[in-house]
Amino acid sequence: MTADLPSFFDPGSLVAVLTTQPLGGTLDYKAPEGGCHLGAFVEVPLGPRKVTGVVWGAGTGGFDLSKARAIIRVLDVAPMRLEMRDFLRRAADYTLTPMPAMLRLATRAPGLGNPPSMQKIYRIGQGDPDRVTDARRRVIEVLRTYGGLSFTLKELAEQAGVSPSVVKGLVKQGVVHEEASPRNLPFPPLDPDLDRKDLTEDQETAAKTLISGIKSGDYGTTLLRGVTGSGKTEVYLEAVAEALRQRRQTLVLLPEIALTAEFLTRFTARFGAAPAEWHSGVTMTERRRVWKMVGQGAAQVVVGARSGLFLPFQNLGLIVVDEEHDTSYKQEDGVLYNARDMAVLRASICGAQVVLASATPSLESWTNAEAGKYRKLELTSRFGDAVMPDIRPIDMRVEKLPSNRWISPTLQSAVNDRITRGEQALLFINRRGYAPITLCRACGQQVGCDHCDARMVEHRFLKRLVCHQCGETRPIPSACPSCEAEDRLAAVGPGVERLTEEAAQLFPDARIATLSSDLFGSARALKAQIEQIAEGGADIIIGTQLVAKGHNFPLLTLVGVIDADLGLQGSDLRAAERTFQLMRQVAGRAGRSTRKGTALLQTFQPEHPVIRAILSGDEVGFWRAEANERQHAGVPPFGRMAGIILSSPDMQEVFDLGNDLARRDTPLRRIGAQVFGPAPAPIARIRGRHRVRLLVKAPKGVALQTALADWIGQVRISNQLRLSVDIDPQSF
Ligand code: ADP
Ligand code: ZN
């Protein structure tokens, strides 16, 4: 076991270093002058380059020791802890990811390999500036002129036209004050008892359970279920408070950066300062600071995206996964992992508590809770006077709608009602852009992406066609790309922008706000818009799935779903679960304060079992039925699935390899697993690469990963081919 490893290596001794380069295993190096600790982050020579790595153990040797190259230097960050190594190894085993790729996730602090930032800042101090030289006087003048500003050594010396040693001399005299730059400053302390709310009885019971879990110091996972607005956040903030009291760190995962702003405001009011943030919207310098401070235990709470799981926590005691059912927790690029599952793994290794919060849990978590693997806590009513909205169908088979119109007369009059009363209405459609299809009326062809098996989607605000797969954009052509007929391209179907156009015609006096992720350049712009809406700055909100998640609009009393059937098409076995979750969540946006809300679902199939479950609100009934079906089919969470995606610019090559793999299925049959395919992947071509998928279905409780590794290991992967394994794929 790892516990037997020496914790320090003397200078010159042979150590094994795991690097972030795709090389298979570790490489041997000589420990540098001064030696190094196990787990130390180091810079090593690799061919002509310098790369980052971690001291993974004693060298394996087996070659001439004098030929081993030496570690260049040990980086100025805390060594990787044993539990982190354990986590990476087990996550690698689970996802069948090579260790170097795993290590890349754990070294994502930009500039980790750079020399430590020794930057200090300088201000005018208290000391007596008597008897100073001319040079010294110039420095003081600069500092006095720019009173409030602080300078780095270089800036100050340059401004004053002196050498840095002059500034240093003044520091010694006490005339100039030197302090650590804010980028090296720890995060402000958080006060667990600053603004505690009086909890309802339900909340109190739930909070107590979470608190005693944290006090135990053991691992445990809790599913915290409760409709939107029932006060789940308030409950898990109590768990955060307890972690603070126990001096253990917390990670709060949110499914969407846009949600952080609201969370930060609430968090700051509760604990007196903001937590550290970790997501793609955070600057490089700040990310580096967070990474370092988390490692030193000087950041107590981190809020952010799934990659926060790979931060070097010193003493992690709590992980909150808010909206745990959200599909964005699945990383679909590079290392394919589900942050919810990895949170549970990480916590089980370091003895932390996990809180999975959701109004509509994933079937996986629901099943685990039913089976007693997770604790289950429920908040049964909305906080305060808020009540669950009425959810009703609008039968589109009987509504009379002209072509290219999507807002039914029934929905239209409901919206008018709200506007008259000074309330807000939300029109929901889960499609970005103007129209999903651009079709040539002369030749009947749809405009597609040149690189992907996907349609180009018209974005009228941007005045461009956009491929939602690869991001390629081009101006909207006047002629059909296929038959070159002029002015015959037509928009087919509704997107959020087109709906905005329709609403503007139907409600000419209403103030309309459109919320779609691609309409905002920055998280800040989006936040501003959301705040404005919350304060009543709009009558009608038109939005994509972005609005379904967590925003609180107190004046909103009506939600109209334009196409409730949208997610039910296709053969995806998770379609029912997805639609149920999304519709419940969107409906939950209505009536969050004291006014009762209504949700109207436009549907052509009001009798569909999923639509009926949404309308009746019989969640438990829905989960039971859904669980039954999956159990029958032997698919997750009652069986195991893995997807293998093969891709190459050469279509023949991917199919050949796919067929070859399908034939060599002995390692899979040994564990009772079946392989299906190869078939074109859900998206058959992306960025010019053809993609095929093989699906493996296995019974629960078998060593699936080992069998998969044996199976894949039988074939050679050529250079232009790529093979990726997706354990527990999102669609199957
Ligand atoms: P959820 O996370 O389940 O959607 P929230 O925790 O956001 O619910 O609570 C909904 C609203 O009710 C929020 O505005 C929150 O501040 C308020 N709230 C919840 N519980 C309490 C409480 N015990 N005291 C005061 N306000 C509360
Ligand atoms: Zn494309």
Phi, psi of 186 (to 5 degrees): -70, 165
What separation in Å is there between the alpha carbon of 431 and the centre of ligand 1?
Answer: 30
**CB under 8 Å to 471, separation ≥6 — which residues?**
none
Nearest ligand to the CA atom of 552:
1
- 661-675 mean pLDDT: 93
- 438-443 mean pLDDT: 92
Q: Of 59-63, 403-407, 547-551, 641-645, which range is least confident?
A: 547-551
What separation in Å is there between the alpha carbon of 235 and the centre of ligand 1?
Answer: 9
Q: Which amino acid is at 10?
A: D
In eight-state DSSP terms, residue 715 is S
pLDDT at 620: 84
CA dist., res. 512 & res. 49, Å (int): 55
**Pairwise pLDDT comparison (519 vs 689), residue with the higher score:** 689
| Domain 201-379 fold | Rossmann fold (3.40.50)
CA dist., res. 145 & res. 402, Å (int): 70
What separation in Å is there between the alpha carbon of 159 and the centre of ligand 2?
Answer: 51
The full set of domain ranges for the chain reads 11-107, 118-182, 201-379, 390-434+494-627, 436-492, 639-727
Asked whether the predicted pLDDT for residue 209 surpasses 90, the reply is yes
The H or E element that residue 674 is part of is: strand 674-686
Asked whether the predicted pLDDT for residue 7 surpasses 60, the reply is yes
- 5-21 mean pLDDT: 88
CA dist., res. 124 & res. 674, Å (int): 73
What separation in Å is there between the alpha carbon of 582 and the centre of ligand 2?
Answer: 26
Asked whether the bond before 32 is cis by omega within 30 degrees of 0, the reply is no
pLDDT at 644: 92
Asked whether the bond before 678 is cis by omega within 30 degrees of 0, the reply is yes
What is the percent of the chain where pLDDT is above 90? Answer: 51
pLDDT at 184: 65
In eight-state DSSP terms, residue 447 is P
Average pLDDT of the chain, as a whole number? 87
Phi, psi of 398 (to 5 degrees): -110, -10
What separation in Å is there between the alpha carbon of 304 and the centre of ligand 1?
Answer: 20
Of 371, 267, 357, give the one whose Cα is nearest residue 321: 357
In eight-state DSSP terms, residue 175 is S
What separation in Å is there between the alpha carbon of 452 and the centre of ligand 2?
Answer: 4
CA dist., res. 532 & res. 520, Å (int): 14
pLDDT at 77: 84
Task: Please report the atom of ligand 1 found closest to the CA of residue 200.
Answer: 23
CATH of region 118-182: 1.10.10.10
Angle between helices 260-271 and 232-245 (to 10 degrees): 50
Q: Is 639-727 a domain of CATH 3.30.70.600? A: yes
Write out pLDDT tens, residues 27-36: 999 999 999 9
483 annotated as belonging to a binding site for a ligand: yes
Confidence of residue 593 (pLDDT cuts 50, 70, 90): low
Asked whether the predicted pLDDT for residue 661 surpasses 90, the reply is yes
- Report DSSP letters for 8-44, one per residue: EE-TT-EEEEEESSS-SS-EEEEPPTT-EETT-EEEE
pLDDT at 384: 65
Q: Among 202, 233, 267, 320, say which to mutate for ligand 1: greatest number of ligand atoms within 8 Å of CB.
A: 233
Q: Among 322, 360, 383, 387, say which to mutate for ligand 1: greatest number of ligand atoms within 8 Å of CB.
A: 383
CA dist., res. 154 & res. 151, Å (int): 8
Q: Cα dihedral angle (238, 241, 243, 246), rounded to 10 degrees?
A: -130
CA dist., res. 599 & res. 616, Å (int): 12
Which homologous superfamily is 390-434+494-627 in? P-loop containing nucleotide triphosphate hydrolases (3.40.50.300)
Phi, psi of 37 (to 5 degrees): -85, 155
Confidence of residue 716 (pLDDT cuts 50, 70, 90): confident
Nearest ligand to the CA atom of 230:
1
Asked whether the predicted pLDDT for residue 61 surpasses 80, the reply is no
The H or E element that residue 137 is part of is: helix 134-145
pLDDT at 659: 93
- Report DSSP letters for 680-708, one per residue: EEEEEEETTEEEEEEEEEEETTS-HHHHH
Of 366, 384, 386, 362, give the one whose Cα is nearest residue 376: 366
What separation in Å is there between the alpha carbon of 473 and the centre of ligand 2?
Answer: 8
Q: Which amino acid is at 656?
A: D
Asked whether the predicted pLDDT for residue 552 surpasses 60, the reply is yes
Radius of gyration of the chain (CA): 29
Q: Are strands 689-699 and 674-686 parallel, antiparallel or unpaired?
A: antiparallel
Alpha helices (H) in 306-377, listed in sequence order: 339-350, 363-370
CATH architecture entry for 11-107: 3-Layer(aba) Sandwich (3.40)
443 annotated as belonging to a binding site for a ligand: yes
Sheet of strand 353-358, all strands in order from the earlier edge strand to the far edge? 276-278, 301-304, 249-253, 316-322, 353-358, 220-226, 375-379
First and final C-alpha spacing in the chain:
38
pLDDT at 1: 40
- Answer whether 464's CB lies under 8 Å from 581's CB: no
In eight-state DSSP terms, residue 718 is P
Ligand 1 is surrounded, with C-beta below 6 A, by 197-200, 203, 226, 228-234, 383, 552
CA dist., res. 428 & res. 136, Å (int): 66
pTM above 0.90, yes or no: no
Q: Of 54-58, 198-202, 513-517, 643-647, which range is least confident?
A: 513-517
Task: Please report the atom of ligand 1 found closest to the CA of residue 227.
Answer: 3
pLDDT at 523: 65
Cα separation values, 673 from 83, 436, 640, 666, 704, Å: 32, 38, 9, 9, 8
Q: Of 308-312, 383-387, 548-552, which range is least confident?
A: 383-387
- 274-292 mean pLDDT: 85
- 670-687 mean pLDDT: 89
Q: Which amino acid is at 340?
A: R
CA dist., res. 574 & res. 564, Å (int): 16
- Tokens at residue 252, please? 């709060």
Nearest ligand to the CA atom of 270:
1
- Tokens at residue 528, please? 């501003």
In eight-state DSSP terms, residue 67 is G
Task: Please report the atom of ligand 1 found closest to the CA of residue 234.
Answer: 6
Alpha helices (H) in 588-618, listed in sequence order: 609-616
Cα separation values, 652 from 139, 677, 680, Å: 71, 15, 12
Confidence of residue 465 (pLDDT cuts 50, 70, 90): very high
Confidence of residue 116 (pLDDT cuts 50, 70, 90): very low
CA dist., res. 448 & res. 434, Å (int): 15
**CB under 8 Å to 204, separation ≥6 — which residues?**
none
Asked whether the predicted pLDDT for residue 521 surpasses 90, the reply is no
Task: Please report the atom of ligand 1 found closest to the CA of residue 359.
Answer: 3
pLDDT at 381: 72
- Answer whether 694's CB lies under 8 Å from 644's CB: yes
Task: Please report the atom of ligand 1 found closest to the CA of residue 235.
Answer: 6
Of 334, 354, 333, give the one whose Cα is nearest residue 345: 354
CA dist., res. 304 & res. 108, Å (int): 14
pLDDT at 456: 92
Asked whether the predicted pLDDT for residue 562 surpasses 50, the reply is yes
Cα separation values, 575 from 37, 432, 626, Å: 50, 19, 11
Of 610, 615, 643, 667, give the one whose Cα is nearest residue 730: 643
- Tokens at residue 478, please? 């006047």
Asked whether the predicted pLDDT for residue 375 surpasses 80, the reply is yes
350 annotated as belonging to a binding site for a ligand: no
- Answer whether 55's CB lies under 8 Å from 17's CB: yes
Confidence of residue 441 (pLDDT cuts 50, 70, 90): very high
pLDDT at 115: 46
- Tokens at residue 83, please? 């539990």
pLDDT at 572: 72
pLDDT at 417: 95
CA dist., res. 219 & res. 207, Å (int): 17
Token pair 């076991």: residue = 1
Question: Residue 70: helix, strand or coil by DSSP?
Answer: strand
Write out pLDDT tens, residues 408-427: 999 999 999 999 999 999 99
On the question of a common fold for 201-379 and 390-434+494-627, the answer reads yes
Asked whether the predicted pLDDT for residue 63 surpasses 80, the reply is no
3-state helix, strand, coil in the chain (%, to 5): 35, 25, 40
pLDDT at 107: 85
Protein residue with least CA distance to atom 11, ligand 1: 229
CA dist., res. 178 & res. 156, Å (int): 12
- Reported ipTM: the value is 0.97
- 386-394 mean pLDDT: 83
Nearest ligand to the CA atom of 687:
2
Protein residue with least CA distance to atom 6, ligand 1: 231
Confidence of residue 2 (pLDDT cuts 50, 70, 90): very low
36 annotated as belonging to a binding site for a ligand: no
Write out pLDDT tens, residues 300-350: 999 999 999 999 999 999 999 999 999 889 887 778 899 999 999 999 999
